[in-house]
């Protein structure tokens, strides 16, 4: 196994040598943001869109972007070169750094902590994916800033644990009767050949995979609707999917103990996963 090289505050180091202060506000307060960028071959997927979302998250928490887009891309290339592989993902995290006094107040002189590593996520196995996942609906008790890709993920951890305790893989979150997203994914529903997903808002993360799926669907003549989905509508859905960078497009085959459609990945999913795999293959070869 080759040595894992990470990026920390301008240096490339073996992971064992990369250390951060215990006074870091990321450690003390969860005061920071992150990104996960899938990489196919040597090509990061939708890198400009990820960098735009990074900028949005940073602006929302009043943290300056330490680099311009070109510098970020150079660092990604360098880190990927030092951590060879096929399908991988770049994990990137920026916190507000360490300060000698533990105080919520933002200190102007704080230097951010910038950390990046390569995750060896492996090639997604479509046959495995096709088996689908079981889910339950759970009340979405998170805050009104879910559009920020915040490292404060304790609420998501609690919701995932509630799903695990119910014996399923993930939760579909519901706020005031309407579906928001999964614990680490966005949600799509298929009804009468129309692909439907909730609009972006402060109650869900604007997923890069979500946008890509919508774009590819429209390019391929699939009718799409971006609108609120009432929890009750899920019961009569033809298909339900959860999408994310690492999970790609996962068909939901069981919800709250009841099979979705005939408990198999549906025809729209089969069409879309092929389009998605094709898109990835073109990216690898570009
Ligand atoms: C809460 C949440 N929603 C949605 C997503 C999907 O986003 P993306 O498609 O950019 O991976 C994630 C990914 O981690 C997430 O954590």
Q: For a substitution probing ligand 1, which of 44, 47, 204, 205 has the most ligand atoms within 8 Å of its CB?
A: 205
> What residue's CA is closest to ligand 1, atom 13?
184
> Could you tell me the pTM of the whole model?
0.97
As given in the structure block, the two tokens for residue 242 are 């959860």
Q: Is 237 helix (H, G, I), strand (E, B) or coil?
A: coil
The fold of 5-119 is D-amino Acid Aminotransferase; Chain A, domain 1 (3.30.470)
As given in the structure block, the two tokens for residue 172 are 């579909």
The fold of 126-285 is D-amino Acid Aminotransferase; Chain A, domain 2 (3.20.10)
The pLDDT score that the predictor gives to residue 3 is 75
CA distance 168 to 67: 41
- Which residue, among 157, 122, 126, 125, has the nearest Cα to 142 in the 3D structure? 157
Q: Which residues form the catalytic set?
A: 149
**C-beta of 209 in contact with ligand 1 (< 6 A):** yes
Residues of the chain within CATH 3.20.10.10 domain(s) are 126-285
**C-beta of 245 in contact with ligand 1 (< 6 A):** yes
Q: What is the 3-state secondary structure (H, E, C) of 19-54?
A: CCCCCEHHHHHCCEEEEEEEEECCEECCHHHHHHHH
Local mean pLDDT, 10-residue blocks, the chain (286 residues): 88 97 98 97 94 98 97 97 93 97 91 96 90 98 98 98 98 98 98 98 98 98 98 97 96 98 94 97 90
Residues of the chain within CATH 3.30.470.10 domain(s) are 5-119
Q: For a substitution probing ligand 1, which of 157, 214, 245, 248 has the most ligand atoms within 8 Å of its CB?
A: 245
The pLDDT score that the predictor gives to residue 124 is 86
The pLDDT score that the predictor gives to residue 108 is 84
The pLDDT score that the predictor gives to residue 2 is 64
The pLDDT score that the predictor gives to residue 261 is 84
Distances (CA, A) of 40 to 44, 71, 76: 6, 20, 13
Indicate if the alpha-carbon torsion angle 131, 132, 133, 136 is positive or negative: negative
**C-beta of 197 in contact with ligand 1 (< 6 A):** no
Ligand 1 mean position to 79 CA, how many Å?
Answer: 23
The pLDDT score that the predictor gives to residue 1 is 60
- Which residue, among 57, 260, 43, 83, has the nearest Cα to 149 in the 3D structure? 57
């Amino acid at each position: 196994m080759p040595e894992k090289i990470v990026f920390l505050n301008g240096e490339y180091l073996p992971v064992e040598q990369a250390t951060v202060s215990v006074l870091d506000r990321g450690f003390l307060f969860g005061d920071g943001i992150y990104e996960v960028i899938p990489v196919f071959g040597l090509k990061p997927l939708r890198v400009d869109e990820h960098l735009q979302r990074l900028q949005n998250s940073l602006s929302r928490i009043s943290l300056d972007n330490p680099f311009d887009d070109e510098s970020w891309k150079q660092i990604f290339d360098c880190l990927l070169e030092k951590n060879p592989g096929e399908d991988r993902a770049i994990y990137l995290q920026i916190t507000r750094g360490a300060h000698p006094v533990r105080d919520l107040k933002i200190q102007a002189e704080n230097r951010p902590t910038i950390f990046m590593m390569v995750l060896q996520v492996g090639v997604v196995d479509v046959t495995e994916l096709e088996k689908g996942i079981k889910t339950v609906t759970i009340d979405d008790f998170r805050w009104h800033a879910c559009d920020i890709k915040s490292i404060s993920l304790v609420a998501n951890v609690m919701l995932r644990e509630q799903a695990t305790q119910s014996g399923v893989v993930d939760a579909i979150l519901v706020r005031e009767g309407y579906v928001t997203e999964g614990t680490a994914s966005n949600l799509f529903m298929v009804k009468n050949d129309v692909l439907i997903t909730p609009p972006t808002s402060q109650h869900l993360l604007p997923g890069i995979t979500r946008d890509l799926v919508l774009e590819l669907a429209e390019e391929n003549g699939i009718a799409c609707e971006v609108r609120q989905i009432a929890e009750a509508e899920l019961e009569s859905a033809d298909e339900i999917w959860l999408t994310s960078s690492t999970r790609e497009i996962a068909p939901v085959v069981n919800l709250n103990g009841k099979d979705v459609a005939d408990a198999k990945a549906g025809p729209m999913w089969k069409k879309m996963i092929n389009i998605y795999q094709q898109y990835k293959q073109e990216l690898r070869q570009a």
